[in-house]
Amino acid sequence: MGILPFVAELGLIDHHCHGVLRVDSTRPEFESLLLEADAVSPLGGSFFDSAIGFAVRRWCAPLLDLPRHAPAEEYLERRNSLHIAEVSRTFLMASGIHTFLVDGGFQPERLLSAEELAGLGGGVAHEIVRLEVLAETLRPSLSPSEFLVAVRSRLASSSAVGAKSVAAYRIGLGLSGVRPADADVERAVSAWSAGRLEDPVVITWLAWEALDAGLPLQFHVGYGDSDIDLHRCDPSLLTPFLRATAGLGVPVLLLHNYPFHRQAGYLAQVFPHVFCDLGLATHGLGHQASRVFAEALEIVPYGKFLFSSDAFALPELYYLGALLFRRALSDFLADGLRRDAFAEEDAHRIARLIASENAARVYEL
Amino acid sequence: MGILPFVAELGLIDHHCHGVLRVDSTRPEFESLLLEADAVSPLGGSFFDSAIGFAVRRWCAPLLDLPRHAPAEEYLERRNSLHIAEVSRTFLMASGIHTFLVDGGFQPERLLSAEELAGLGGGVAHEIVRLEVLAETLRPSLSPSEFLVAVRSRLASSSAVGAKSVAAYRIGLGLSGVRPADADVERAVSAWSAGRLEDPVVITWLAWEALDAGLPLQFHVGYGDSDIDLHRCDPSLLTPFLRATAGLGVPVLLLHNYPFHRQAGYLAQVFPHVFCDLGLATHGLGHQASRVFAEALEIVPYGKFLFSSDAFALPELYYLGALLFRRALSDFLADGLRRDAFAEEDAHRIARLIASENAARVYEL
Amino acid sequence: MGILPFVAELGLIDHHCHGVLRVDSTRPEFESLLLEADAVSPLGGSFFDSAIGFAVRRWCAPLLDLPRHAPAEEYLERRNSLHIAEVSRTFLMASGIHTFLVDGGFQPERLLSAEELAGLGGGVAHEIVRLEVLAETLRPSLSPSEFLVAVRSRLASSSAVGAKSVAAYRIGLGLSGVRPADADVERAVSAWSAGRLEDPVVITWLAWEALDAGLPLQFHVGYGDSDIDLHRCDPSLLTPFLRATAGLGVPVLLLHNYPFHRQAGYLAQVFPHVFCDLGLATHGLGHQASRVFAEALEIVPYGKFLFSSDAFALPELYYLGALLFRRALSDFLADGLRRDAFAEEDAHRIARLIASENAARVYEL
């Protein structure tokens, strides 16, 4: 049940994460940030009674000098008695992540910047540009034709190492397999003057532009908060888009994927530019992460799977994302070794690929 | 492989079940009632060669004083040599269920009533009102406007502790997220004068009315007999309806869910009023129930998951539903304890929540 | 971890496979034939770093007198130093398959015929007629009405023991539940003069004609190469067609099914004429095949599940398909015996049903 030594020592590239909160959290805030619900419900009881809740008490409590399984109230008291920067440093350092690819597009005002995050974690940070946020920021002050030029220019000159689309949240993943013509995009932009971008033509066009700029393109896939319609987040809905973009040679990365991780593995197998991960689910499943991690690795070539935490707001989620990833990867490899499915040196290579080498290759880090 | 003592001793609330047959069954009847097929097929062989078939021979035979794994023919001979009420009492008493929430809307003429069932099982029974049956019963003798009034009045004054929708069987789960206006409902009712209700406006309206009456609302989700189109029974199709009804504060319960139990867990996590179970699959999977049960608990908070048997017609299914639930819950908790995922007292609390406390809270029993 | 002796000794009927290559393969060819991708991608690395790649090195290397886990390069050198017929004979003989049901409709010019295959494998072969290929071959030289007559006549007089539809690749599995009228089929045939058949009316009609001719009808279901849209290959989309054809009494066989194997199991449970398998996935998952195999057997009656390899081009895939099937079946039965879910003689019967008896009954071999 322990972690194989060569897995415990792996340095990790977290290819998809967010910032951590600048301030302490009340218990209701903390509970709701543990998972994807907006708030705790009196109908359903405390979120500490969940896989992730128990994982916090089991694994995070000792890092704050509390016994394993310390009660939730005690944990939060202890946590709030420390400076939040100290808490964040503790969990970030313990994660063993040396490189953070940060999507800073969601609630940036509440969170540490990528730089600050990396500083606390003793690593380096790179930015992922969130396409819809970029578009929503640029739109109000520009004409449609200026908007197209500005988006292209910003992507071409971006210091980001990748782009991210939240099409799943806005229109679902059924993106067209046909590249939108500029005239159609301008028309769609005209009809959208400001506010939340929900136009399929514009959202699809952003994805193409990111690839044109040579930016590896991440898609939110699968579960998230109550904003999504889960059946529209099945990655196989992306097939026409993936078929159309395979020839560009720019990576497309399917994030999270649960409970469609098998579908994601299929796409990563058959399309040369497609990769996937199991972020969010890895810590969200707590002690059950290993089984689903093994499922996610059923048919995906090992050169096509990456580590990410998808941690957001709570530094505990970085630590748990990394720790439960290591345990799951270790369980997977130990099971393979026990079955004599591969040799020891193969297991080492698989581990390095998934922990950091695939990400370094994909993002040219 | 045994059952943890504190799980073996749990009293259960079965929040979704049906009556048991008043009479003996022939072998073909018994086989077809074991699972969801209409009849045994010569092409495919005996249904005793299935997970549930083997579970009957393994677990039920000893309660009729036969050896474990007694041959099917011998089992049925012995069963039919006893009075059916005696057989039913034996299995119901052995289930450890003390409270039965009974949907009596399917084939009531063949089955014991909720009262009779509870009497045999030494417990108490509460009624669940089946919305489509209520509507089909009221419709023929009423005008459309009288129908609306009558449904509302019946729900408002109902002694039932909850309502059930079989929208999955009639129109699929893609219910509109917009509440139907009375005028639209009346128009739809006008077009349906009698017989099987398959109108989406009326079916959606019934669901809203149940919630308005404060009745916890059950939905059939996932697999069932050959009447359903399984892909239309994905619970994530309910998302617009769940989003629209979240503010009402009345529980919605997703029944069965297999093979969409992960989707159901997601919905129960993100919506404050949503709960789920694994009824039908728990006994249908026989000795493999534990793995799927663990999957069902991956991301659902433990305050959101309930026990049900979905037993119908054969008293064996109550016993197997309860027994295989206990084994699966025990396996889940024992695995968590072995991995040190939670403390012993946490395991006890999770067990109590799922066995009865969640149901008692949801249905205000 | 070993294979139960009575499973190791089972003779197998492979109810769905293809021919093997007549010639040696280069490393890029070999790698791309291991799985469903068109080609190895420099972005993603070698396909030997995958479940099936490791399975080749682990299990196939020793049959070519190399050590377990021999490096890929060494394996291919050794393989190409032998005559390809010798390599094929080695793996085919070691598979323990005595009867091959061969779909020769894909790339026949590159592959050994069914006869040649069976000759090398020391078994017998039967043909499965691929409906779309038959139609595409007949169409160019015939008028629409002649085409209908010719298809009927060819199916009626066919020596094939079954037919196969690749509707999944052409139109998805949402076939109509209404039998197309001849006039509609003729109209659709008129609009399609030659080339790839993608008309839903004609494809649906072919499926009905196969059943009319009494030919057990196979459907490709679930994952395959990048030509498919996976979400359109969910077998539950076939429900209207299955409901409409249940009365004909001719078997319908759902092939592969991953990741929809639970949906396939449901259909095989509720429809008297439906059967399923886990071909392709069994070898594609390598050392993880056992878990998915157990999932596939959750609710399907054991008289409804068949063995197939879906091996194509590489003789290794026959051997691995059979070997990993035996391991998975053995793991499933050993787990059931360990849990005392069924008796030893029951385990033997389940094994025989799945290995060959179900196929013999379905195809009347």
The three state secondary structure string of chain B is: CCCCHHHHCCCEEEEEECCEECCCCCHHHHHHHHCCCCCCCCCCCCCCCCHHHHHHHHHHHHHHCCCCCCCHHHHHHHHHHCCHHHHHHHHHHHHCEEEEEEECCCCHHHECCHHHHHHHHCCEEEEEEEHHHHHHHHHHHCCHHHHHHHHHHHHHCCCCCEEEECHHHHCCCCCCCCCCCHHHHHHHHHCCCCCCCCCHHHHHHHHHHHHHCCCCEEEEECCCCCCCCHHHHCHHHHHHHHHHHHHHCCCEEEEECCCCHHHHHHHHHHCCCEEECCCCHHHHCHHHHHHHHHHHCCCCCHHHECCCCCCCECHHHHHHHHHHHHHHHHHHHHHHHHCCCCCHHHHHHHHHHHHHHHHHHHHCC
A109 interfaces chain B, CB cutoff of 8 Å? no
Instruction: Give dist(CA B88, CA B21) in Å, integer.
Output: 9
Mean pLDDT of C130-146: 97
pLDDT for the residue B1: 63
What are the phi and psi torsion angles at C256 (to 5°)?
A: 70, -80
Our measurement of the distance from residue C141's CA atom to the centroid of its chain's CA atoms, rounded to an integer in Å, reads 31
The answer to whether the Cβ–Cβ distance between C50 and A343 falls below 8 Å is no
Cβ contact, residue pair B1, C339, below 8 Å: yes
Could you tell me what percent of chain C has a pLDDT over 90?
Answer: 96
Q: Which two tokens stand for residue B14?
A: 């079965």
Q: How far is C209 from chain B (nearest CA, A)?
A: 20
pLDDT digits (tens, 9 = 90+) for C201-259: 999 999 999 999 999 999 999 999 999 999 999 999 999 999 999 999 999 999 999 99
A contacts of B298 (beta carbons < 8 Å): 51, 284-285, 288, 292
Minimum distance, in Å, between the CA of residue B215 and any CA atom of chain C: 31
User: Residues of C with CB below 8 A from A268's CB?
Assistant: 44
Please report residues of B whose CB lies closer than 8 A to that of A226: 239, 243, 246, 270-271
Average pLDDT of the segment spanning A343-364: 98
List of chain C residues whose C-beta atoms are within 8 Å of the C-beta of residue A237: 231
Owner of token pair 């879906």: C310
> How far is residue B194 CA from its own chain's centroid?
27
Contact A303 C44 (CB under 8 A): yes
Residue C79 above 70 pLDDT?
A: yes
User: What residues are paired with C127 via a beta bridge?
Assistant: C102
- Of the pLDDT bands very low, low, confident and very high (cuts 50, 70, 90), residue B107 is confident
Determine contact, residues C116/C26, Cβ cutoff 8 Å.
no
Give the confidence band of A108 by pLDDT, cuts at 50, 70, 90: confident
Given a cut of 70, whether residue B160 has pLDDT beyond it is: yes
Please state which of the ranges A24-28, A99-103, B107-111, C14-18 shows the lowest mean pLDDT. Answer: B107-111
Backbone angles phi, psi at A111, to 5 degrees: -115, 155
Q: In what order do the strands lie in the sheet containing A217-221?
A: A12-17, A97-103, A124-130, A162-165, A217-221, A252-256, A274-276
- Nearest CB to A229 within list B239, B346, B361: B239
How distant, in Å, are the alpha carbons of A123, A134, A148, A149 from that of A145?
A: 40, 16, 5, 7
Average pLDDT, chain B: 97
Question: In chain A, what residues touch B304 (CB-CB under 8 Å)?
Answer: 44-45
pLDDT of C153 above 90: yes
| Mean pLDDT value of segment A285-311 | 98
Q: Which candidate from B272, B338, B346 shows the least CB-CB separation from A44? A: B272
pLDDT tier for residue A1 given thresholds of 50, 70 and 90: low
User: What is the per-residue pLDDT across C315-331, written as a single tens digit (0 to 9) for each?
Assistant: 999 999 999 999 999 99
C193 touches chain A (CB under 8 A): no
**Alpha-carbon gap, residue C80 to A169, rounded angstroms:** 51
Residue C1 has pLDDT above 80, yes or no: no
Condensed to tens digits (0 to 9), the pLDDT of residues B264-323 reads 999 999 999 999 999 999 999 999 999 999 999 999 999 999 999 999 999 999 999 999
- Are the CB atoms for C215 and C158 separated by under 8 Å? yes
Does the pLDDT value for residue B32 go beyond 70? yes
How large a percentage of chain B has pLDDT more than 70? 100
The answer, for B226 touching chain C at a CB cutoff of 8 Å, is: yes
Predicted confidence (pLDDT) at residue B22 exceeds the cutoff of 80: yes
Provide the residue type at C294 as one letter: A
Q: How far apart are CA C285 and CA C51, in angstroms?
A: 6
The distance of B71 to chain A (nearest Cα, Å) reads 36
Contact (CB, 8 A) for A223 and A36: yes
- Do C54 and A346 lie within an 8 Å CB cutoff? yes
C50/A contact by beta carbon, under 8 A: yes
Q: Do B269 and A35 touch (CB under 8 A)?
A: yes
Question: Cβ of A176 under 8 Å from any chain C Cβ?
Answer: no
Query: Using the beta-carbon criterion (under 8 Å), do C251 and B37 form an inter-chain contact?
Result: no
Report pTM: 0.98
Report the gap between the CA of B305 and the closest CA in chain A (Å).
9
Q: Looking at residue A227, what is its pLDDT?
A: 95
Q: What part of A 302-361 touches C (C-beta under 8 Å)?
A: 302-304, 335-336, 338-343, 346, 349-350, 353, 358, 361
Angstrom distances, CA of residue B221 to CA of A71, B235, C32? 36, 6, 40
For C200, the 3-state DSSP assignment is: helix
- pLDDT, mean of residues A261-273: 98
User: C272 vs B37: CB contact, 8 Å cut-off?
Assistant: yes
Å between A251 CA and nearest CA of chain C: 8
User: How much is the average pLDDT of B14-20?
Assistant: 96
**The pLDDT value given to residue C109:** 87
Q: What is the mean pLDDT of residues C276-293?
A: 97
pLDDT one-digit tens code per residue, A190-209: 999 999 999 999 999 999 99
**Residue from A314, A232, A223 nearest A261 by CA:** A223
Token reading at A181: 């013509």
Q: What is the mean pLDDT of chain C?
A: 97
| Neighbors of chain B by Cβ distance (3+ pairs < 8 Å) | A, C
Tell me the mean pLDDT in the region A171-176: 98
Q: Does C284 touch chain A (CB under 8 A)?
A: yes
What residues are paired with C101 via a beta bridge? C126
Taking an 8 Å cut-off on Cβ atoms, the answer to whether A301 and C69 are in contact is: no
Residue B192 φ then ψ, to 5° = -125, 105
Whether residue B343 has pLDDT greater than 90: yes
Query: Is the complex ipTM higher than 0.95?
Result: yes
β pairing state of C12-17 and B274-276: unpaired
Separation of alpha carbons A40 and A89, rounded Å: 27
State the pLDDT confidence band at B106, using cuts at 50, 70 and 90. Answer: confident
